[in-house]
Chains A and B, each alone.
Chain A
């Protein structure tokens, strides 16, 4: 059993380290309004968080992380560059794995408004690595920005790109869409029958509910446009699959992505950013050859990160990361009136202390 005093002491030590790195202390309520999280993440948040409420305030949620309230607080300020740190308990439902803690402390470090993305990313990563006190950890990294650029670079309709981007986070539906857009799976028979009619709405039953006839007409038009769109080529799907299944050391992955960029120039800018990040990490003394890069890393978390993503893991079997982080520029745009570059990460002191205790006994 982890000593709770050791966890608190370590959390405070990390917090001070982050303050020494120039961060302002941030704090927020434990009980937060649920509407923003529900709007951002939908039903997923109910499966992951403790929702409660009362008749006056409506739905409330036990703080699942500090990021959303922190972004809101930052967006309400004048702007400019800022560093924040925080420490406190967060709450996550563990329905499918009761052995995992439902309440645990997070200590975080976040940079908002930094102009040099690679520098800020390296700063966060290196600071967290240093705070992890020389534990023997494996670092996994990924880049949602490369994935997004790859999808946006597909030679197909905007509608298909948007559909794929929307489901980047749901690998199964993403695959089903890609198979259909690539002509690998047939059009569902009911859809083919619908599109075979000149006026599918001529015999339509009376409509009830809030979705209007105009919306149905618009979708039929979109389906017709999609049916007239040529399939995404096998070569392009192969390139995308190569990125998704990429697993290599970071420098090796960079080389492979540069090769892919020859045939898929749309990822060029994201690959350049990745190269700058590796340089910045190297300049901060991180052994980039020891960094794992996984093309699909970060795809099964909440729709949150949109660039660099990372996690620190003890051993190979333990699926719970000791620390995680990444870039989330898009989230700031959804919570404020403008997009602000944002990157940060959190440490789980309870897991760190458990590792230290295991190492000493």
Chain B
């Protein structure tokens, strides 16, 4: 059996079902709406597992599922050296969002990472603590800023309503996912022009084939053909 992990609710689940449906593979939630099991029609040997999108990277890495649909941002954030642990089968063309850095619109002197870095140095001198960037994407943001050579910042954890942290003075800047930038603007924030950390989209991932049985390999070959990959 090839286990396919799919987000268990919301638009991401609906769009994933649509994407597979258009390619002749019907995914369905079983029984009542609250039940997290499902059925697969149109191909034999594939089992549907409904999971939180945030848990799919971990389940793939642990080998408890062989295929999984989740945001490419989540795989990069949750798995160290992700590309040695899972393979990208295909981007699915929905769920697109950019992980960016945003600062208050009133910071007219800050538009680039170079500006952010200089402002952070001065901020630390003035306030006695590092410039705080609120985010839930700690690994991605830290690796990006280390690569770009930005110093004198600290990441503070924010699992929701991140855009509000600046106004509440629990952070000076944020690093978050945005698709249209509307919420950012409504909260008086603007996006840095050269700080696109990751352009995310819903993506079908798989585990490396070396741990698979022959049946799983055959099933995957048929699935690839059916999906037109």
Interface residues of A (CB under 8 A from B): 38-39, 42-44, 46-47, 95-96, 98, 163, 166-167, 170-174, 176, 180, 188, 190-191, 194, 200-201, 204-211, 213, 215-216, 218-220, 222-223
Interface residues of B (CB under 8 A from A): 80-81, 104-109, 111-112, 114-115, 117-119, 121-123, 126-127, 130, 138, 142-143, 145-155, 166-167, 169, 171-172, 188, 193
How far, in angstroms, from A271 to B227 measured CA to CA in the complex? 67
What are 30 pairs between A and B in contact, CB < 8 Å? Answer: A42-B152, A43-B155, A44-B146, A95-B80, A96-B81, A98-B81, A172-B148, A172-B149, A173-B117, A173-B149, A173-B150, A176-B149, A188-B111, A191-B111, A191-B115, A194-B108, A200-B108, A200-B109, A205-B106, A206-B106, A208-B166, A209-B104, A209-B166, A209-B172, A210-B169, A215-B123, A216-B106, A216-B108, A219-B109, A219-B119
Please report the number of residue pairs spanning A and B whose Cβ atoms sit closer than 8 angstroms.
111
Q: List 10 A-B pairs, minimum CB-CB distance, nearest first.
A: A173-B149, A207-B106, A170-B149, A205-B105, A190-B111, A209-B166, A95-B80, A219-B109, A172-B149, A208-B188
Is B149 in contact with A43, judged by CB distance below 8 angstroms? Answer: no
Is A188 in contact with B104, judged by CB distance below 8 angstroms? Answer: no
How far, in angstroms, from A56 to B146 measured CA to CA in the complex? 31
How far, in angstroms, from A172 to B117 measured CA to CA in the complex? 13
Is B127 in contact with A210, judged by CB distance below 8 angstroms? Answer: yes
- Across-interface contacts of A170 in B (CB, < 8 A): 149, 151
- Taking the closest CB of chain A, its distance from the CB of B95, in whole angstroms, is 27
- Across-interface contacts of B130 in A (CB, < 8 A): 39, 42
Residue of A nearest to B106 (CB): A207
Is B121 in contact with A96, judged by CB distance below 8 angstroms? Answer: no
Is A207 in contact with B146, judged by CB distance below 8 angstroms? Answer: no
Is A211 in contact with B121, judged by CB distance below 8 angstroms? Answer: no
The listed residue with most A CB atoms (<10 A of its CB), out of B109, B112, B171, is B109
Q: A47, A188, A220, A222: which contacts B146 (Cβ < 8 A)? A: A47
